[in-house]
């Protein structure tokens, strides 16, 4: 991470498909900046000799056998779809690439 | 100026597992839409993914088959994007610590042996299937979350023939290794193709264009050729190549720009908090290595060195796993390897094409084909009768010896039976007889042809020749 890490709140909100008002953008900008400041503080820790990890738990290899297990009943699933056609969820036309 | 193309392939291969990557839903082709689904693969809040051990094994075995190193420790990441085919709005994949690293694939391109290097193989999950209808799209989540691995080559290929040879060999290895069925129609193998060009001698790669999601080898070849020409054309006209994603229009045979907003590629990868890392011990790797099947290249070498087949035969027989397995099984029952090879490459192959039935679905068995080879080798039937017999066995099955008897296919080698036809031939062809006696050895073939015709192909050629020579006093 670069020293001057900055979160562009409107950009992130756009990526997350969240619509924010100007006031909200300003509010979250301030809060997120505080989070970043906190992370900056963590950098002061001496971590020489500490193995980097992507996970807080020391467990590994939580696996399951390749055996089918019952899932959800089709009708239950379809009931959760806002719009249905031929047993499939109807979504706004996915913009074609062309 | 001379240009060189650099081509890299990212090939997605659907693994042959019974269940999905992170849940126990069945992985099944052609099921009724949205019947193999659960809270995990539908991305319901609070659902926890659990790794499929078999998928991990298959991914590592694919790596071993391609000479990759298996990472002692690998982890999972989220690739975030919004698209209805990924219900939870992220795909679980492996960004910086994949299961397999490095590797290579050696194959032949137009008679030249080439080695293509592989950067990595990572495990991920498949997206759902979309169908576009007028004004809307439909989504079926049966495929969502099925095990998918991505094999990433280096940009080490330089022509469409390199790419075709690489894909063909890769498909063969995946099939032989039991990693995937590699059924292209079912989308088991799809590639993203990166193409760039640079002046010959330049070290840095040119700007790369990515052509996404293609499952036809033929279209990949066409798209690469079009793209190389297009890029050289742009540069020669003083333009520059934009790094971009392009689609391939199969009707027009052209690639076209798929202008997407820049942020579309901001996937904001971060470590997947719901999954723990995978650690693979050296013992586990050795265990998997010991279970690897014989690969096409090894099998070809064995056919040549142990069975004495020509290289050509070995190549044809191993092109499809099912054919080479049928060949191996047949060779357990007869030592007439070359005859069996001839029939599989000839009559059997043409029956498969003509009748559109695979060997496995035909009535022919390794046992009956072995018997045909023995009948020919023992002189009981001629080669042409063998082809007829194979056709009967392929379509109807049955006992080869009984069919030979019933249809009167046996060769006639007995002098007393051949004599009448030989005498007729000699009497009817005085010119040929004269020529032969005058020293033209080839003219005996004319007489031989008459005997074969008169016997309706049943006369045993070597026996006929011997008898004719005796009669002509040679
Ligand atoms: Zn599921």
The mean pLDDT of B257-273, rounded to a whole number, is 75
The mean pLDDT of B26-38, rounded to a whole number, is 95
Task: Output B358 or B457, whichever has higher pLDDT.
Answer: B358
What's the gap in Å between B417 CA and the centre of ligand 1? 73
Q: Which chain B residues contact residue A69 at CB under 8 A?
A: 19, 23-25, 38
Percentage of the residues of chain B whose pLDDT score is greater than 70 = 98
Residue A2 has pLDDT above 90, yes or no: no
Instruction: Determine the pLDDT at residue B190.
Output: 96
Beta strands across the sheet bearing B270-271: B90-93, B77-80, B270-271
Phi-psi category of B379—alpha, beta or left, where left has phi over 0 and alpha has psi -120 to 50?
left
A52-55 contacts: CB < 8 A, separation 24 or more? A54/B75, A54/B97, A54/B271, A54/B277, A55/B75, A55/B271, A55/B273, A55/B276, A55/B277
Please tell me the distance from the alpha carbon of residue B200 to that of residue B243, in angstroms, as a whole number: 20
In this prediction, residue A95 has a pLDDT band, given cuts at 50, 70 and 90, of low
Residue B400 has pLDDT above 90, yes or no: yes
Instruction: Determine the pLDDT at residue B150.
Output: 98
Instruction: Determine the pLDDT at residue B59.
Output: 98
Tokens encoding B59: 């991914």
User: For chain B, what are the domain ranges?
Assistant: 3-285, 294-407, 415-471
* Range scoring the smallest mean pLDDT among A42-56, B10-24, B277-291: A42-56
The mean pLDDT of B244-254, rounded to a whole number, is 90
Q: Which chain A residues contact residue B51 at CB under 8 A?
A: 61-64
The CATH number assigned to the domain with range B415-471 reads 1.10.10.410
On whether any CB of chain B is under 8 Å from the CB of A97, the answer is yes
Q: Which chain B residues contact residue A71 at CB under 8 A?
A: 23-25, 36-38, 41
Contact B34 A94 (CB under 8 A): no
Minimum distance, in Å, between the CA of residue B33 and any CA atom of chain A: 6
**B353-362: pLDDT as tens digits:** 999 999 999 9
Residue B342 has pLDDT above 80, yes or no: yes
What's the gap in Å between B42 CA and the centre of ligand 1? 7
Residue A7 has pLDDT above 90, yes or no: no
The mean pLDDT of B40-65, rounded to a whole number, is 96
Q: Which chain A residues contact residue B138 at CB under 8 A?
A: 85-86, 88-91
For domain A3-42, the question of CATH label 1.20.140 is answered with no
Percentage of the residues of chain B whose pLDDT score is greater than 90 = 73
Is B100 in contact with B151 (CB distance < 8 Å)? no
Instruction: Determine the pLDDT at residue A98.
Output: 35
The mean pLDDT of B9-36, rounded to a whole number, is 97
The mean pLDDT of B49-76, rounded to a whole number, is 97
**B140-150: pLDDT as tens digits:** 999 999 999 99
Contact B277 A88 (CB under 8 A): no
CB pairs under 8 A between A and B: 129
Of A63, A74, A90, which is closest to B53 when you measure between CB atoms? A63
This complex has an ipTM of 0.84
On whether any CB of chain B is under 8 Å from the CB of A85, the answer is yes
The mean pLDDT of B187-200, rounded to a whole number, is 95
**pTM for this prediction:** 0.79
Is B41 in contact with B25 (CB distance < 8 Å)? yes
Q: Which chain A residues contact residue B73 at CB under 8 A?
A: 60
The mean pLDDT of B371-400, rounded to a whole number, is 92
The mean pLDDT of B354-381, rounded to a whole number, is 93
The mean pLDDT of B408-424, rounded to a whole number, is 84
For residue A64, the chain B residue with the least C-alpha distance is: B52
Mean pLDDT of chain B: 92
Element (H, E) at B375: helix B366-377
Strands A88-92 and A84-85: antiparallel
Phi-psi category of B411—alpha, beta or left, where left has phi over 0 and alpha has psi -120 to 50?
beta
């Amino acid at each position: 991470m670069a020293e001057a890490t900055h979160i562009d709140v409107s950009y992130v909100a756009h990526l997350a498909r969240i619509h924010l008002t100007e006031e909200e953008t300003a509010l979250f900008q301030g809060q997120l900046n505080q989070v970043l400041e906190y992370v900056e503080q963590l950098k002061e820790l001496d971590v020489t000799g500490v193995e980097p990890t992507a996970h807080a738990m020391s467990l590994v290899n939580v696996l399951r056998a390749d055996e089918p297990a019952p899932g959800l009943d089709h009708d239950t699933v379809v009931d959760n779809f806002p719009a249905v056609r031929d047993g499939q969820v109807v979504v706004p036309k996915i913009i074609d690439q062309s | 100026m001379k240009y060189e193309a650099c081509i890299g392939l990212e090939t997605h291969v659907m693994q042959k597992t019974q269940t999905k990557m992170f849940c126990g839903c069945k992985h099944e082709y052609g099921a009724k839409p949205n019947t193999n689904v659960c809270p995990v693969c539908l991305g319901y809040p609070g659902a926890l993914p659990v790794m499929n051990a078999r998928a991990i094994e298959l991914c590592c075995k694919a790596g071993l088959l391609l000479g990759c190193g298996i990472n002692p420790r690998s982890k999972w990441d989220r690739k975030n994007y919004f698209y209805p085919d990924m219900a939870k709005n992220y795909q679980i994949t492996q960004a910086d610590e994949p299961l397999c690293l490095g590797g290579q694939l050696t194959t032949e391109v137009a008679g030249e042996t080439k080695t293509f290097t592989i950067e990595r193989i990572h495990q991920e999950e498949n997206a759902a299937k979309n169908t576009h209808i007028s004004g809307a799209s439909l989504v079926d989540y049966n495929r969502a979350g099925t095990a998918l691995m991505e094999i990433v080559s280096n940009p080490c290929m330089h022509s469409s023939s390199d790419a075709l040879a690489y894909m063909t060999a890769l498909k063969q290895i995946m099939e032989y290794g039991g990693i995937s069925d590699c059924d292209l129609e079912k989308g088991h193998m799809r590639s993203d193709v990166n193409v760039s060009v640079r002046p010959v001698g330049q070290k840095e790669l040119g700007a790369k264009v990515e052509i996404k999601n293609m499952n036809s080898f033929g279209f990949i070849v066409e798209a690469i050729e079009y793209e190389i020409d297009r890029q050289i054309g742009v540069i020669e006209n003083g333009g520059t190549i934009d790094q971009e994603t392009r689609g391939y229009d199969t009707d027009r045979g052209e690639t076209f720009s798929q202008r997407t907003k820049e942020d579309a590629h901001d996937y904001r990868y971060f470590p997947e908090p719901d999954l723990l890392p995978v650690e693979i011990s050296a013992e586990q790797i050795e265990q998997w290595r010991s279970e690897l099947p014989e690969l096409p290249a090894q099998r070809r070498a064995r056919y040549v060195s142990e069975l004495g087949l020509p290289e050509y035969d070995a190549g044809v027989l191993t092109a499809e796993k099912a054919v080479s397995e049928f060949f191996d099984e047949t060779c357990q029952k007869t030592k007439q390897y070359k005859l069996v090879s001839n029939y599989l490459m000839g009559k059997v192959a043409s029956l498969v094409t003509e009748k559109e039935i695979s060997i496995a679905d035909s009535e022919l068995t390794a046992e009956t084909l072995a018997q045909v080879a023995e009948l020919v080798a023992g002189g009981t039937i001629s080669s042409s009768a063998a082809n007829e017999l194979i056709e009967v066995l392929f379509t109807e099955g049955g006992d080869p010896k009984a069919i030979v008897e019933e249809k009167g296919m046996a060769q006639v080698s007995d002098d007393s039976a051949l004599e009448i036809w030989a005498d007729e031939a000699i009497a009817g062809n005085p010119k040929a007889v004269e020529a032969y006696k005058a020293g033209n050895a080839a003219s005996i073939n004319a007489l031989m042809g008459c005997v074969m015709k008169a016997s309706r192909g049943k006369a045993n050629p070597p026996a006929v020749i011997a008898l004719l020579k005796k009669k002509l006093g040679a």
